[in-house]
Structure 1
């Protein structure tokens, strides 16, 4: 009887010790599993790339912060009105009214939102949206009435103006086409890099490609962004007899 009682007591104590050990093992396993789960999550978060939004710089012309005067002839003929930069040149002058960005930029897409008005018939006046490093590293949109000879070649009618998409050098390239007056347009120049690290320039109006040209240089040439209205001899037949203007709603780089 005593022996049986002793055996039963030993059996009960053994089962109790086994139960406690099992609980400890389960708790340790559960803790290890939870820790591994946290570590895996941390590792996955480290490996998962975080998408950075594309950098877009936009100037809305509520002011001229980050821009400076670049007028070459005459007085600075421009002002801001209701978030729009109005630029103009005077009749019977060779005014060259310009503003330029303070900073310089390289590859990317440059865009200008521009209103093209009626311009004086035969006037040597141009609305310009362009990139400038120096006289041999310059990419332009130039919009004006155009010489009569150029208008005839393009079969321009009364409400047409002429727009030139141009690389001034390295290499020289100029593409003329027609554009309707009294409308807003988005002009853009995209500078991409080819496998030789040279710029490939693409000129567009309202996302329609006008022309593309591979340039002889790359990002060692940085550009300032320009807005202008200038009286220039190449784009008309006589000194302007009227005041000509252009409107710039915004400029963008991305």
Structure 2
């Protein structure tokens, strides 16, 4: 038994001495797996990819704090307009053929055009017209025109003494006109909407969100429009040359490309 035990001790000693230091693993040197999700870097694109992109606004508003992006378009007489507490004050003189106008520098096509206009008393029988209109040339023009009106037309519309007449007109291509009475001394939102039907404009006229006329035109976006604000002494809209000065106020003009 002693001999056997001695042999076992010698054998064990030989096995231990055969192991070098290179065969002993130091756990402190074992690399940490980078596949652990808790250690993975957070993507900097995760928030960005979930954000929605928004298209630029299609709404443009001129509040008449100044006349930037507008130019004079007066045809007869002196340019009778100025900025009045955030409004465009535009006028004509008595006993003249004044045609005072401003127009947008840029031109536009489809969309909704809105003018907020104060319609004052205006002279009885005066040939004076407040204009809010779109113009390319004399045969491509869409209008709001507001005035006293000829007595014969007032009678046909049963106009009251405190009312004026608003004309909503396509001057050509085709010729079309709508008429309505409105009260004096009030603010109105006047809108012309242009959409496309079979590649041609479809025009509708709206006052204070009420559609009062609509016409299919026979031309399209080849014809762009400048936006006009005007006060003009025009013979069609009264019975005599104006006996008084007349004016209108424009609070804002707005274009929405829809």
TM-score of the two chains, using structure 1 as the length reference: 0.85
Q: What corresponds to 1:112 in structure 2?
A: 115
- Runs of 4+ displaced beyond 3 Å: 13-17, 31-34, 42-45
Supply the distance in 2 between the matched residues of 1:125 and 1:252 (Cα, whole angstroms): 24
Matched positions, count: 242
Q: What corresponds to 1:73 in structure 2?
A: 76
Residues 106-140 of structure 1 show CA distances to partners (whole Å, capped at 9, x for unaligned) of: 11111111100011111111000001000011010
Q: What corresponds to 2:173 in structure 1?
A: 170
Q: SS at 1:38's partner residue? A: coil
Supply the distance in 2 between the matched residues of 1:14 and 1:153 (Cα, whole angstroms): 113
In structure 2, stretches of 5+ residues that fail to align are 1-8
Are 1:60 and 2:67 matched, yes or no? no
The verdict on how the C-alpha distance between 1:192 and 1:31 changes in structure 2, with shifts beyond 3 A counting, is same
Higher helix share: 1
Q: What corresponds to 2:207 in structure 1?
A: 205
Supply the distance in 2 between the matched residues of 1:41 and 1:151 (Cα, whole angstroms): 68
Residues 27-48 of structure 1 show CA distances to partners (whole Å, capped at 9, x for unaligned) of: 32427965xx738727844xx6
Q: What corresponds to 1:228 in structure 2?
A: 230
The verdict on how the C-alpha distance between 1:163 and 1:28 changes in structure 2, with shifts beyond 3 A counting, is same
Question: What is the CA-CA distance between 1:197 and the residue it aligns to?
Answer: 2.1
Aligned residues: CA RMSD: 2.7
In structure 1, stretches of 5+ residues that fail to align are none
1:147 to 135, 145, 150: 150
Q: SS at 1:92's partner residue? A: coil
Supply the distance in 1 between the matched residues of 2:89 and 2:104 (Cα, whole angstroms): 16
Supply the distance in 1 between the matched residues of 2:127 and 2:44 (Cα, whole angstroms): 71
Are 1:161 and 2:168 matched, yes or no? no
Supply the distance in 2 between the matched residues of 1:190 and 1:20 (Cα, whole angstroms): 77
Q: Which has the larger radius of gyration?
A: 2
